[in-house]
């Protein structure tokens, strides 16, 4: 048996090649040497979904500072943190933006990785440190920030030809309840009793969380004029949420956060799953990794409808001791992960090939965050495992992670996949399709499970078949996938040919 599976056998793009796709792929190949021309091509290309998108990291620093200015917020004495008023007039965020452009620039660099990516302060802080410290510098940026983030996320996605978002987001009610939990000793043997105690008080917390999301979504829809005669294109982006737990809090608080995340996802249909966040290399996260996986297994048994996408393997050689690289992805699979976020350290795991073959066999996709991995971990180019995953047949989907903090967008992620990872047009198309096939949005998918390239029976003859359209009405996932196929046809038959003039002779 061959060590690696042929990509051609796994690719719906290859299985359903058309003259339009072939011609489009030829244009793509000719544009590869011109990043600006390739950007035009990829900007117009349909991209499916973004499955790994932290809502709080989606807006750019300038968005947060606009909301801070509207809320009369201040900048601290160091010029690197947003803080509540009062403050002298010259430290008002609004005044800073209008009259102190260099100070404003410094603040933007503090609230993102922009400066580090350009070499500013690179000797003082790693990309990892700058990235994770950026969040604490936003402070309380005004009441409009959360609804504003939902607005921005939809607008950016629509402009990037992204049709579906799974936003990693916790309402404030969950966060405050978690941080208000007492820090008490907790081990595997105490999970059941602790779970029972937390669930006794969980319902009003979940009620507040759902009401909060109602208000923020309504505010975002109003800003986007979704119910008006000229709605913003962002209104057409389908959105679902993933609730999250903390991995760098003491065990009782970490488990409480996961209990509430699972409970919210089980009650609110807008939440399609859960995740676990914070740096995987921090002290508590490493120490309690096995305990966290036990917590997730425990909760998955009690909430079987709740999907799980777990950050795992967001590590690199040198960031942590070698022993910490040996098994995090495998253990996440053992805990029931249906998707893996990042998975960057796969090559350092024991029995890595067996783990990847298991992922391929079970249909566990990897959410690939190229800019994030480059900036935070220093893993890029040939060192990145994207091609390795695909060689073994593991489903992969490109995603943005925290596009505002990282100063990226989905088009740029597709650019990196093409120019740094050698992905061709068919590969990018396959990953766009995979992003919807492995999304947690409700309903069966367009492709036969385990048989990419083969459409389910109602759509086997044609996407325009009435039976296929009836099927789409019963499945939000299938509806998005059929829309993506329609968009690919338009792109390949109409849009891409207009770019032939960029190819040259």
User: pLDDT per residue over 341-380, tens digit each?
Assistant: 999 999 999 999 999 999 999 999 999 999 999 999 999 9
What percent of the chain has pLDDT above 90?
79
- Cα 362 to Cα 501: distance, rounded to the nearest angstrom: 44
315 or 117, which is more confident? 315
Domain 180-212+243-398+410-443 sits in CATH at: 3.20.20.140
Do the Cβ atoms of 402 and 54 come closer than 8 Å?
yes
Closest CA to 204 of 176, 223, 182: 176
**pTM reported for the whole predicted model:** 0.93
Instruction: Band the pLDDT of 143: cuts 50, 70, 90.
Output: low
Please provide residue 51's backbone torsions phi and psi, each rounded to the nearest 5 degrees: -95, -10
**Residue 229: count of CB within 10 angstroms of its CB:** 5
Interval 482-491: pLDDT, tens: 999 999 999 9
What burial letters (b/e) apply to 340-361, b meaning 16+ CB within 10 Å?
Answer: bbbbbbbebbeebeebbbbbbe
Interval 185-215: pLDDT, tens: 999 999 999 999 999 999 999 999 999 999 9
Say what the pLDDT of residue 122 is: 59
Say what the pLDDT of residue 10 is: 37
Q: What is the mean pLDDT of the chain?
A: 91
Closest CA to 68 of 140, 147, 149: 140
CA 162 to chain centre: 12
Instruction: Band the pLDDT of 121: cuts 50, 70, 90.
Output: low
Q: 442-445 long-range CB contacts below 8 Å, 24 or more apart?
A: 442/269, 442/272, 442/475, 442/476, 442/477, 443/474, 443/475, 443/476, 443/477, 443/478, 443/479, 444/475, 444/477, 444/478, 445/475, 445/477, 445/478, 445/481
Distances (CA, A) of 292 to 17, 216, 253, 264, 335: 44, 30, 11, 18, 9
Say what the pLDDT of residue 16 is: 56
Rg of the Cα trace of the chain?
A: 23
For the residues 52-71, what does the mean pLDDT come to? 93
**Cβ neighbours of residue 79 closer than 8 Å, sequence gap 6 or more:** 103, 106, 107, 110
User: Any idea what DSSP says for residue 495?
Assistant: I
For the residues 393-420, what does the mean pLDDT come to? 97
| Distance separating the N- and C-terminal Cα atoms of the chain | 44
Domain spans, the chain: 7-46+451-502, 61-136, 180-212+243-398+410-443
Range in 126-135, 208-217, 250-259 with the lowest mean pLDDT: 126-135
Do the Cβ atoms of 265 and 271 come closer than 8 Å?
yes
Say what the pLDDT of residue 26 is: 94
Would you say residue 276 has pLDDT above 50? yes
Range in 258-262, 462-466, 481-485 with the lowest mean pLDDT: 462-466
Would you say residue 306 has pLDDT above 90? yes
């Amino acid at each position: 048996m061959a060590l690696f599976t042929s990509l051609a056998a796994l690719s719906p793009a290859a299985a359903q090649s058309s003259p339009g796709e072939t011609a489009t792929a030829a244009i793509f190949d000719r544009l590869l040497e011109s990043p600006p021309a390739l950007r035009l091509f990829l900007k117009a290309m349909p991209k499916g979904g973004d499955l790994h998108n932290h809502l709080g990291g989606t807006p750019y620093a300038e968005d947060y500072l606009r909301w801070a200015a509207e809320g009369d917020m201040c900048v601290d004495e160091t010029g690197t943190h947003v803080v509540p008023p009062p403050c002298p007039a010259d430290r008002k965020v609004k005044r800073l933006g209008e009259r102190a452009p260099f100070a404003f620039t410094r603040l933007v660099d503090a609230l993102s990785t922009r400066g580090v990516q350009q070499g500013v302060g690179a000797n003082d802080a790693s990309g990892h440190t700058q990235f994770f410290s950026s969040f604490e510098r936003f402070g309380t940026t005004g009441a409009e920030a959360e609804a504003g983030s939902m607005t921005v996320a939809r607008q950016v996605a629509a402009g990037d030809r992204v049709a579906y978002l799974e936003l990693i987001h916790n309402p404030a009610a969950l966060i405050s309840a978690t941080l208000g939990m007492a820090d008490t000793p907790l081990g595997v043997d105490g999970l059941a009793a602790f779970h029972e105690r937390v669930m006794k008080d969980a319902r009003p917390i979940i009620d507040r969380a759902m009401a909060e999301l109602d208000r923020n979504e309504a505010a975002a829809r109003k800003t986007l004029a979704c119910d008006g005669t000229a709605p913003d294109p962002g209104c057409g982006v389908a959105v679902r949420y993933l609730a999250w737990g903390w991995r760098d809090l003491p065990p009782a608080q970490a488990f409480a956060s996961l209990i509430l995340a699972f409970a919210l996802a089980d009650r609110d249909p807008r939440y399609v799953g859960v995740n676990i966040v914070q740096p995987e290399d921090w002290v508590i996260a490493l120490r309690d990794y096995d305990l966290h996986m036990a917590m997730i297994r425990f909760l998955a048994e009690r909430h079987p409808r709740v999907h799980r996408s777990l950050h795992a393997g967001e590590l690199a050689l040198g960031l942590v001791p070698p022993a910490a690289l040996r098994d995090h992805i495998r253990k996440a699979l053992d805990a029931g992960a249906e998707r893996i976020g990042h998975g960057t350290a796969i090559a350092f795991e024991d029995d890595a090939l067996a783990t990847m073959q298991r992922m391929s066999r079970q249909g566990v996709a990897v959410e690939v965050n190229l800019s994030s991995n480059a900036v935070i971990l220093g893993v890029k180019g040939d060192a990145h495992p994207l091609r390795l995953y695909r060689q073994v047949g593991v489903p992969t989907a490109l995603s943005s992670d925290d596009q505002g903090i990282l100063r990226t967008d989905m088009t740029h992620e597709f650019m990196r996949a093409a120019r740094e990872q050698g992905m061709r047009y068919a590969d990018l198309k396959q990953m766009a399709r995979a992003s919807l096939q492995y999304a947690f949005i409700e309903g069966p998918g367009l492709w036969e499970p385990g048989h990419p390239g083969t459409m389910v029976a109602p759509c086997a003859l044609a996407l325009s078949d009435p039976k296929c359209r009836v099927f789409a009405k019963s499945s939000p996932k299938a509806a998005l996938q059929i829309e993506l196929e329609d968009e690919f046809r338009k792109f390949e038959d109409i849009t891409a040919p207009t770019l032939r003039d960029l190819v040259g002779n």
